[in-house]
Structure 1
Amino acid sequence: MRVFATALLLVMAAAFLTFRHLAGLHPEWSVPLGFAIAFTEAAMVGGLADWFAVTALFRRPLGLPIPHTAIIPVNKDRIADSMGRFLQDNFLTPQVVARRLHGFNLAASAGTFLSGPRGGEQSRLSEGTAGLLADVLESLDPEQMGGMVKAGLRSQLEKTELAPLLGQMLDHAIADQRHLPVLESLLRKTGELVEANEPMIRAMIHQRANTIMRWTGLDERLANGVLDGTYRVLAEVIVQADHPLRAKIDDALAQLADDLRNDPAMRLKVERVKLELLANPAVAAWMDAMWERARAALLRAVRNPDKALAGSLGASMAQLGQALGQDARLQALVNRFARRTLVGISSRYGSEIVRLVSETVKRWDAKTVSGRIEGAVGRDLQFIRINGTVVGGLAGLAIHAVDRWL
């Protein structure tokens, strides 16, 4: 469109020169050529004026330091702040979110999208949405976005009391006997550990035995008895489901579960350990690595949505879509949860999201900002140049006609 608008301006310039030349050669054609000259002359003025106006938005025309040009690069930071305020005022306040979600059946729409055939408009929509999401993920600052996600996760972990949750999980595991494979594995590992360190155990028994026992060889018999007894007890506990030691272990685990739920001292101890772990640099590094893996996996999924939704995952998503589309109670539950979640997110993190967008745009260089905005609306701006050339020419015709009439 830029080439077309420029070519139209050059055509008007060439026509103007041609008509002026013909007017000198053929004075008898002065009236029609006068209108043609007036049209092309005014069209050049209109086209040049609009070229200057459009160019001045994104850069300095001809590189000249003319005041009030390169408006977008010069005002990049102000534009970023305005975008942030617009986003917050129109999309991220709890009142706006609640009002926009009121009466909107999000669950039914999601069900129709998930269960419908993948093709036509839906494929284009999913591809466009996935591409947009990927572009957003790649354009946002990974460190700041990751920091916000990790800060939210850390905040939720700090608020969540783990001891009662661990106690309930342990209670359910004991009731369903899901702890038995873990217990048997621990017993086998204990036997392997004793066997691997048998020379060290024998040496410890020999060192602690008195002189008489060493002279009589009783220390060796004692070491053999300790090791054989340990192996026998471990084997019996693994093989016999009703072994007394198993019952004692179950009782100890049940008591631990009860303490985790009801003992203030135990709950305080668990909370203290949790806070120490969260403050540990190793845990912070683990959270960083987990976020990077999640972000990379999400980018791979949105870059290739068809592959991500293929196979059993795609079938499961289709079944979920059918359930969402047909079950009114499930729709009401999902819609209520979505409204509360989105309103809560806008209330808690709206300002953080706005600041993230604003600071990301501010970190872009001026050329990048201008290029992205021009790429989004540049085609329409070139139509302004074309319209300016045509309208300018028509205005020149009108002015020339009025001048001749007067």
Structure 2
Amino acid sequence: MTSDTQPSLINSLQRSKRLATIALMMAVVAWVALMLSAKFFPQYSNILHILMLSTEAGVVGGLADWYAITVLFRNPFGQIPIPRFLRDHTEIIPRNKARIAESMGHFVQENFLSPQVVEKSLQHTNLSHSLGQWLQNPKNSGQITQVMQQILPKIFDFIEQEKIAQFIQSNSLQWLENTKVNQLASEMLHSILDNDFHEELLQQGLDSAHEWVLQHPTQVREITTTLFKELGILKLSKGASFLGIDMQQRTVDSFMEKLEQVLQDREHPWRQYVEQYGKSLMLELQQDHSTTSERLNHSKNALLNSPQLVNFMSSAVVILFNAIKSDLAKTDSGIAKNVQAAIETLGENLLQHQEVGALLNQRLSTLAVHFSDRYSDKVIRFISERIHEWDSTDMIAKIENEVGGDLHMIRVNGVIVGSCIGLALGTVRALVDYAF
């Protein structure tokens, strides 16, 4: 409930109470006035008795409704001794707080959080379409971006505090020390080989190398010159050039020929060698005590024990955080614009790709049903415990503020309806007396 709504409800409650009290007092005053009038004007006693019966019924209706509403929240008799059967049916809401808590919990569970209800509701809801429409709206994506601009700098400031930074750094280093990177590397290789990513990577690499050699003949010439020089055969190649033999070009041509063979032949021995080497490396990394695994873990530990590396990483993180904070502080933040554009693009893609949307709906529905089945009891228990912990006075005040205005208007209706019924009964009585 907002701060503006609370005073409005309190004012409505007080206004309804005053109106109900005024209606009851008017009925009492009218009743007394009519009784006195009947004494002083006996010639009008018939009509006055009809009206008096109407006001009596209005007083009874108003008092009865006042009592009925009051006993919901408190004991209207106070310390006055009353029969037990009356006392046991006062303060109905405070006395039954535990039962109300359990009933509310079961009501929420049965009507909102049960797996059957959640699944049925989501079957008629296109979550991905609604999400896509919401995300592609510039107003909504702008709000998300603004929240990000406000929260991220505060998170960075918190992380950059000296003690927090040291805590995170020490725990991160400890986690890395206790982590066997050979197992991680083995799993990565397993995923790459199983999904034939190595074939794609190799193909992309060979295509890029082939294209680069064709487009950069000068740089290729320089590389072969450097290579021949390191091998000590540069003078020999120059001597062969006098005989019309260009050893450097022949080397390049030979390389290109081999490269094209590998590109065209999916079963080329070089490709098979790469795959076999990858599988062999994966199997070695699966074994914690293999030479490859021990070498990899030793290299990791050596890096972690290097103060220079740790200081460099800490400095790099600080520099990165400062750069992000500085950019987010700008009104025309590039990061914010890119994030907002990415959010809107995501929304558009969700609307355009129906297959992805259908799959997302299915996954979200399955996830929601799973969570409702697993955690609904905990949610209900939490609700019941919070209601049990409520102070009875506070609970009564909350309920009265919410519905008290309407309840006290029932008192007004009681006076009016009672008066009407009394008037009708009085009229019937007068007609019967007149007829007989």
1:146-295 → structure 2 map (5 Å cutoff): 166-167=184-185, 258=282, 262-263=286-287
Query: Residues of 2 paired with 1:345 and 1:398: CA distance?
Result: 60
Report what 2:215 is aligned to.
none
Report what 1:6 is aligned to.
21
Report what 1:29 is aligned to.
44
Measure how far apart 1:69 and its partner are.
0.8
Query: Residues of 1 paired with 2:284 and 2:398: CA distance?
Result: 56
Measure how far apart 1:377 and its partner are.
2.1
Query: Residues of 2 paired with 1:162 and 1:87: CA distance?
Result: 47
Task: Note if contact 1:41-1:396 (Cα within 8 Å) is conserved in structure 2.
Answer: yes
Gaps of 5+ in 2: 1-15, 81-86, 144-178, 192-197, 202-277, 291-335
Q: Which has the larger radius of gyration?
A: 2
The match for 1:92 among 83, 106, 113 is: 113
Moved over 6 A (4+): 161-165, 168-172
Report what 1:45 is aligned to.
60
Task: Note if contact 1:166-1:260 (Cα within 8 Å) is conserved in structure 2.
Answer: no
Residues 323-342 of structure 1: CA distance to partner in whole angstroms, max 9, x if unpaired? 43443233213211220111
Q: TM-score, normalised by structure 1?
A: 0.52
Task: Note if contact 1:167-1:260 (Cα within 8 Å) is conserved in structure 2.
Answer: no
Going from structure 1 to structure 2, the CA distance change for 1:331 and 1:398 (only over 3 Å counts) comes to: same
Going from structure 1 to structure 2, the CA distance change for 1:265 and 1:3 (only over 3 Å counts) comes to: farther
Task: Note if contact 2:186-2:286 (Cα within 8 Å) is conserved in structure 1.
Answer: no
Report what 1:281 is aligned to.
none
The match for 1:391 among 402, 417, 431 is: 417
Query: Residues of 2 paired with 1:260 and 1:369: CA distance?
Result: 66
The match for 1:107 among 128, 131, 134 is: 128
Measure how far apart 1:91 and its partner are.
1.9
Measure how far apart 1:164 and its partner are.
9.1
The match for 2:370 among 301, 326, 344 is: 344
Query: Residues of 2 paired with 1:165 and 1:331: CA distance?
Result: 35
Report what 1:184 is aligned to.
none
What SS does the aligned partner of 1:61 have? coil
1:47-66 → structure 2 map (5 Å cutoff): 47-64=62-79, 66=87
Going from structure 1 to structure 2, the CA distance change for 1:115 and 1:375 (only over 3 Å counts) comes to: farther
Measure how far apart 1:265 and its partner are.
8.4
Query: Residues of 2 paired with 1:340 and 1:70: CA distance?
Result: 45
Going from structure 1 to structure 2, the CA distance change for 1:5 and 1:87 (only over 3 Å counts) comes to: same
Report what 2:430 is aligned to.
404
Report what 1:72 is aligned to.
93
The match for 2:103 among 63, 75, 82 is: 82
Query: Residues of 2 paired with 1:361 and 1:261: CA distance?
Result: 56
Going from structure 1 to structure 2, the CA distance change for 1:99 and 1:163 (only over 3 Å counts) comes to: farther
Going from structure 1 to structure 2, the CA distance change for 1:327 and 1:352 (only over 3 Å counts) comes to: same
| Number of residue-to-residue matches in the alignment | 246
Residues 215-241 of structure 1: CA distance to partner in whole angstroms, max 9, x if unpaired? xxxxxxxxxxxxxxxxxxxxxxxxxxx
Going from structure 1 to structure 2, the CA distance change for 1:163 and 1:18 (only over 3 Å counts) comes to: farther
Query: Residues of 1 paired with 2:111 and 2:289: CA distance?
Result: 49
Residues 167-199 of structure 1: CA distance to partner in whole angstroms, max 9, x if unpaired? 478769xx99xxxxxxxxxxxxxxxxxxxxxxx
Query: Residues of 1 paired with 2:56 and 2:181: CA distance?
Result: 84
Q: TM-score, normalised by structure 2?
A: 0.49
Measure how far apart 1:345 and its partner are.
0.4
Query: Residues of 2 paired with 1:5 and 1:29: CA distance?
Result: 30
Measure how far apart 1:96 and its partner are.
1.7
1:291-310 → structure 2 map (5 Å cutoff): none
What SS does the aligned partner of 1:104 have? coil
Going from structure 1 to structure 2, the CA distance change for 1:400 and 1:356 (only over 3 Å counts) comes to: same
Matched, 1:354 2:386: no
Query: Residues of 2 paired with 1:370 and 1:339: CA distance?
Result: 39
Query: Residues of 2 paired with 1:162 and 1:384: CA distance?
Result: 73
Gaps of 5+ in 1: 124-160, 177-253, 267-310
Measure how far apart 1:84 and its partner are.
1.0
Query: Residues of 1 paired with 2:289 and 2:89: CA distance?
Result: 69
Residues 312-361 of structure 1: CA distance to partner in whole angstroms, max 9, x if unpaired? 56665444444434432332132112201110001111111111111111
Residues 270-320 of structure 1: CA distance to partner in whole angstroms, max 9, x if unpaired? xxxxxxxxxxxxxxxxxxxxxxxxxxxxxxxxxxxxxxxxx6566654444
Going from structure 1 to structure 2, the CA distance change for 1:166 and 1:59 (only over 3 Å counts) comes to: farther
What SS does the aligned partner of 1:342 have? helix
Matched, 1:16 2:25: no
Task: Note if contact 1:76-1:369 (Cα within 8 Å) is conserved in structure 2.
Answer: no
Query: Residues of 2 paired with 1:263 and 1:63: CA distance?
Result: 80
Measure how far apart 1:373 and its partner are.
2.3
Query: Residues of 1 paired with 2:116 and 2:180: CA distance?
Result: 34
Task: Note if contact 1:163-1:260 (Cα within 8 Å) is conserved in structure 2.
Answer: no
Query: Residues of 2 paired with 1:373 and 1:89: CA distance?
Result: 23
What SS does the aligned partner of 2:113 have? coil
Residues 238-286 of structure 1: CA distance to partner in whole angstroms, max 9, x if unpaired? xxxxxxxxxxxxxxxx99x9589734889xxxxxxxxxxxxxxxxxxxx
Measure how far apart 1:394 and its partner are.
1.3
Query: Residues of 2 paired with 1:168 and 1:63: CA distance?
Result: 78
Query: Residues of 2 paired with 1:18 and 1:396: CA distance?
Result: 16
Query: Residues of 2 paired with 1:87 and 1:4: CA distance?
Result: 35
* One-letter amino acid of the structure 1 residue matched with residue 29 of structure 2: A
Residues 30-88 of structure 1: CA distance to partner in whole angstroms, max 9, x if unpaired? 23322221111111110110111111111112535733111111111111011111111
